Amino acid sequence: MRPGFVNRLSAGVRFIQYPKSVIQYPQFDNAAGGHPVVSLYLNVDGSRYARRGDYEAEYGFMVHEARRTAAENPGFSKDQLEEMDADLQAVGEFLALEFRREGARGLIIFSCRTRGLWQVQPLKVPVKNRLFVDLKPRLAPLARMLSRHRRFGVLLASKETARLLEHYAGEISENSEIFDMVLKHHSQGGWEQAKLQRRHQLQVRNHLKKAGDAALAFFQEKSLDLLVVGISEDLWPELEKVLHPYLKERLAGRFNIDISADANEIRGKVEAIEEGIRAREQEALLASLGPELAAGKTYVGGLDDVLAALNERRVDLLIVESGYAKPGRRCPGCNTIEFGEESCPSCRTKMQAVNDIVEEAEELAVRQDAVVIEVPPGNASLAQAEKIAARLRY
Ligand SMILES: [Zn+2]
């Protein structure tokens, strides 16, 4: 399981490392007299929204809903409502006038113009449409998406050529090319033939050794998690002999592919391997969940106990059945979340009503560097634990 994705950059500023960029944002939590922050997660996948107007319409629906909720909820002052409107309008104008899809399937925008926050992050993976207006950027959907992905190094090798690529969250990039001229195998008979054959084999081995060494350096430089190898069946035993043990331990899979394959084809192969890993890990995790909950040492189940653990900042993994939602309350002072308390049990501030306490729980989990995973309905142990469970740090 990967650790949390939210990292502290300096006092008050945090960041999330995304494949080719860094999402930076001021830490707005508990800011007194705070300014509303708009967090937009927009699905712009071309297979679902063919035209710009299609996802703009989705945004329009969400804005309508956000304004209605804000008007009904007495949490925001008149000034805050005006600021919210300005941010929603700025995001709408950006979508209409500036944004170019260029292969993006998802889009994240954080906006709080009063505080100088404006972050746009296109994604190569789709996201679920969500619009939040809160006193801080809402990170749970982003962290949840990233927790589904590993950083892969991809080594492609033939007898003459090798390629190194990096794959993370739908983004694939080529990083270097190693090209060795290997003496062609001449078809002459007798003693000369045997000598040339040996020389050719030696050159192939040297080339593969170089490719393996380059992969190791690349792997460590980029802090990658797993390695996949694209190579022909007959050449693999040769590479296996010279591959560094560090890489062998991190080998997640292997496939046969043409050395000149295009990035999309390679990405498809890597994603199939990643999907398999994810399914196996989730299965193992869920299989252990029942016994763990019964033992009651490292896991708690049920919203009451999970909320208590989150409020104590003790959670390092949160497992939620997808689609689970429930209204509740949140303390604007210290972010404590509860079902029905009128005033905050820890700081006595008047609690505010929230539409979905499960979403709040996920946000609180991300902010204590926990990994959040959503699993489809159907797991008996999770169902018994009222659809939510948490692993504790201590
Ligand atoms: Zn409080």
| 307 CA to centre of ligand 1 in angstroms | 14
The two structure tokens encoding residue 331: 């303390």
**CATH number of residue 235's parent domain:** 3.30.420.60
Using pLDDT thresholds of 50, 70 and 90, give the confidence band for residue 19.
Answer: low
Give the number of domains in the chain.
3
Question: Comparing 55-59, 181-185, 261-265, 323-327, which segment has the lowest mean pLDDT?
Answer: 181-185
| 30 CA to centre of ligand 1 in angstroms | 10
Q: Is residue 175 part of a domain?
A: yes
Same domain, yes or no: 183 and 216: yes
| 335 CA to centre of ligand 1 in angstroms | 6
**CATH number of residue 310's parent domain:** 3.30.1330.30
Helix (H) or strand (E) holding 319: strand 315-321
| 137 CA to centre of ligand 1 in angstroms | 19
Same domain, yes or no: 225 and 329: no
| 330 CA to centre of ligand 1 in angstroms | 8
Domain final residue, candidates 137, 166, 192: 137
Q: What is the pLDDT of residues 272-316, one digit of tens each?
A: 999 999 999 999 999 999 999 999 899 999 999 999 999 999 999
| 313 CA to centre of ligand 1 in angstroms | 14
Angle at 109 between CA 357 and CA 16, to 5 degrees: 80
Q: Is residue 288 part of a domain?
A: no
Using pLDDT thresholds of 50, 70 and 90, give the confidence band for residue 4.
Answer: very low
Q: At what angle do helices 52-72 and 78-93 cross, to 10 degrees?
A: 180
Residues spanned by the domain of 350: 296-394
Same domain, yes or no: 209 and 104: no
Cβ < 5 A residues, ion ligand 1: 331, 333-334, 336, 344, 347, 349
Predicted pLDDT at 339: 82
| 203 CA to centre of ligand 1 in angstroms | 68
| 331 CA to centre of ligand 1 in angstroms | 5
Q: How many percent of the chain have pLDDT more than 90?
A: 54
| 348 CA to centre of ligand 1 in angstroms | 6
Q: What is the pLDDT of residues 103-153, one digit of tens each?
A: 899 999 999 988 888 989 898 888 999 999 988 888 888 888 888 888 999
Q: Is residue 290 part of a domain?
A: no
Domain final residue, candidates 279, 304, 339: 279
Same domain, yes or no: 132 and 107: yes
Q: What is the pLDDT of residues 205-244, one digit of tens each?
A: 999 999 999 999 999 988 899 999 999 999 999 999 999 9
Same domain, yes or no: 127 and 5: yes
Same domain, yes or no: 126 and 1: yes
State CA 95 to chain mean position distance. Answer: 23
Domain final residue, candidates 279, 314, 345: 279
**CATH number of residue 22's parent domain:** 3.30.960
Predicted pLDDT at 9: 45
| 339 CA to centre of ligand 1 in angstroms | 13
Q: Which long-range contacts (CB under 8 A, 24 or more apart) does 161-166 make?
A: 161/259, 162/207, 162/208, 162/210, 162/211, 162/214, 163/259, 164/214, 164/215, 164/218, 165/263, 165/266, 166/19, 166/218, 166/222, 166/224
Q: Is residue 146 part of a domain?
A: no
| 45 CA to centre of ligand 1 in angstroms | 40
| 337 CA to centre of ligand 1 in angstroms | 8
Predicted pLDDT at 212: 93
Q: What is the pLDDT of residues 37-93, one digit of tens each?
A: 999 999 999 989 999 999 999 999 999 999 988 877 667 888 999 999 999 999 999
Same domain, yes or no: 43 and 94: yes
| 345 CA to centre of ligand 1 in angstroms | 7
| 88 CA to centre of ligand 1 in angstroms | 29
The DSSP line for 169-206 is: TTEEEEEEEEE----------HHHHHHHHHHHHHHHHH
| 133 CA to centre of ligand 1 in angstroms | 20
| 34 CA to centre of ligand 1 in angstroms | 16
Q: Is residue 285 part of a domain?
A: no
Same domain, yes or no: 108 and 225: no
| 333 CA to centre of ligand 1 in angstroms | 5
| 269 CA to centre of ligand 1 in angstroms | 48
Same domain, yes or no: 380 and 352: yes
pLDDT at 318 exceeding the cut of 80: yes
Same domain, yes or no: 9 and 116: yes
| 341 CA to centre of ligand 1 in angstroms | 11
Using pLDDT thresholds of 50, 70 and 90, give the confidence band for residue 340.
Answer: confident
| 386 CA to centre of ligand 1 in angstroms | 25
| 310 CA to centre of ligand 1 in angstroms | 13
Beta-bridge mates of residue 209: none
By the 8 A CB rule, do 152 and 3 touch?
no
Between residues 127 and 9, the one the model is more confident about? 127
Predicted pLDDT at 70: 82
Q: Is residue 291 part of a domain?
A: no
By the 8 A CB rule, do 273 and 252 touch?
yes
| 31 CA to centre of ligand 1 in angstroms | 13
Same domain, yes or no: 233 and 316: no
Q: Is residue 305 part of a domain?
A: yes
Q: Is residue 57 part of a domain?
A: yes
Same domain, yes or no: 252 and 313: no
Using pLDDT thresholds of 50, 70 and 90, give the confidence band for residue 22.
Answer: low
| 4 CA to centre of ligand 1 in angstroms | 24
pTM over 0.85: no
Q: How many Å apart are CA 308 and CA 304, to the nearest integer?
A: 6
